[in-house]
Structure 1
């Protein structure tokens, strides 16, 4: 009994450590998450499988309680509650699909759990997915690398996990030795801002002109990317202001904004140029709870709308881009859906002022870099802190 308890405690700590290190915000540490499939397969009972899954997910998402407290200007208790609620889907899926048989069923069941956590509805909370490490282990392999990663995760749940660990570690070291960070496409530039909570909330004439000044400092022919929510509410007046301010220039801007409608609002990216200001992209998955609030439809609507599988790629100046707004960078299906349409670059933006004191933005950057390296795509990143 004592030895079993010690074993469970040790495996729980290892699972938590895999989540903590793998999702520390350093892209080259993502392969550490592959310890989780092996630990999950070591569970002897369903409650143990649930415990190991909870340890991994709660550790990986440890920045949520403080981030929620920052966002709502509340104490940490609300954040802790949402942190636990967010882990429920991950734990339920991995607990339900676990079984005690050490045959072909175990890897198949684990891969089904991975699939379920990658696509809606459970994929809406599909953070900390180990498959994200594919970009580190198989950079430039594209879909073949994704298939190799799936096979590797499956083997990690079998008795051959030591051999799989040796092979994956070798690939990891080889990749790390020659690792290069994804670069922006030619003539594209992401702008990081440090405007805190005021970005998107203070959007008067002075703020718009300040953003115009930042854009006009770039050379002609540049496409400049601003963070999520940079423009505040997108209206015909704001569109006219930007067209007038950019008259005579040869610079294109891409910036985040919100469009209010009868049943809520859309979190969007807009294109800014002397000729026009138009909506490029509508967020497929706004942050559940704080932005996407489907239960409010019963009371007449409200919150951000989710277009789960809409506009996976958009065209900007002849370049097909895969846009990812904030929360979408933590999930699996948005980037894979975009990759199916052959994008030429990834554009990742966010407004992360509320993540102060956490590693959330670093994790978003690491995840975006990993996917960009997997598909060998240029990457443009723009965040506000």
Structure 2
């Protein structure tokens, strides 16, 4: 009897540790997430595999309850409910695809990994172990992604020990010569510390303060400056005129977040601003489910919430530069960045408004995840966050 509960208990504890350590915001620790498929494959029953999946996913997304409580200025219960419900797709899929047939496990796990990459399951595909590809195989691009996928399949097979040793070698070699991705010389990302007021304080004085900050950052060799999600608040002709007039005589373009309201809700967008005017260049493909994207409203014939544009506009163009844009939640899931990489952009621009994540590692995880993808595809990256 003791053996019946000891093995699954140890596997669950190990999965919690893997989720906690891998997703703490330290980029070089992401490969620890590859411990999850190993632990999942070592389970001897479907219930044990389910509990291993629960332990890993809940540990990896542990900052969600506190973040939601801060966002809604409420107690932890709404956050806990969202935390548990968000894990449903990940846990259910891994429970369903687990099998006692060890020969089939590699195919089953790869199937789960693919399904957790793309919608609909990919909508909550956080903490995906394949994100570690950028640490294991920096610069390998699609070959690195394929090698990681093959490695994961090996980790759930009888060859797991040999595969783990090989992957550990790549990990150590990469860490020994690691350099963080940097922005191009003509680009700069501006980080703000304006808390919940960003995007909500719509006063002209706030915009003038932001314009002054941008001008202070402008240098002769800068052509583009990125500002966080929601910086411009609601996008209106009045705001456009204010910013474009302030940029007269300057050969500089601002890429900033805003909200565009329509009859059905709103779009979370990135807008390019210069002395020539403003232009919407990107509409967010995947807003935060629940708090922003609320698809049930359409079923109830209600308006409101952010629209999801899923596979639209994977890149935006500024002059001759092709940019892979990622707004906030898109940095935590897999398909937006992979879709953008199919177009071979020149750089990645990652923006967010993370004031509600204070006291959690969510923003650090967003940055680490984006940096890992940037390293995999050897792309420079520009970050701009508000906290």
Counterpart selection for 1:349 from 341, 345, 351: 351
The residue aligned with 1:174 is: 173
Helix, strand or coil at the partner of 2:229: coil
**Secondary structure of the residue that 1:32 maps to in structure 2?**
helix
2:247 corresponds in structure 1 to 246
Deviates more, 1:219-228 or 1:356-365: 219-228
TM-score under structure 1 length normalisation: 0.99
In structure 1, the partner of 2:374 is 372
TM-superposition CA deviations, 1:323-342 (whole Å, max 9, x none)? 00000000000000000011
Q: 1:106-121 counterparts in 2 under 5 A?
A: 106-121=105-120
SS at 1:118's partner residue?
A: coil
Please state how far the C-alpha of 1:267 moved relative to its aligned partner: 0.1
* Structure 1 residues not aligned, in runs of 5+: none
1:139 is aligned to 138
Partner in structure 2 of residue 274 of structure 1: 275
The two structures, once aligned, show a CA RMSD in angstroms of 0.7
2:320 match? 318
Are 1:193 and 2:195 matched, yes or no?
A: no
Are 2:126 and 1:127 aligned?
Answer: yes
How far has the Cα of 1:317 moved from its partner? 2.3
Q: Distance in 2 between matches of 1:326 and 1:192?
A: 14
Q: Which residue does the alignment assign to 1:28?
A: 28
- Aligned length, in residue pairs: 384
Query: What 5-or-longer segments of structure 2 have no aligned partner?
Result: none
Which residue does the alignment assign to 1:213?
A: 212
Structure 1 residue 284 corresponds to structure 2 residue 288? no
Partner of 2:386: 384
Q: CA deviation at 1:300?
A: 2.7
Counterpart position of 1:16? 16
State how 1:33-52 maps to structure 2 within 5 Å: 33-52=33-52
Deviations 1:71-125 (A, max 9, x none): 000001111111101110000010011110011x110000000001000000000
Measure how far apart 1:222 and its partner are: 2.5
Aligned-partner Cα distance in 2 for 1:211–1:187: 20
Deviation (angstroms), 1:301: 2.1
TM-score by length of 2: 0.98
In the alignment, structure 1 residue 263 sits paired with structure 2 residue 264: yes
* CA distance in 2 between partners of 1:341 and 1:87 (Å): 31
What is the CA-CA distance between 1:316 and the residue it aligns to?
Answer: 1.0
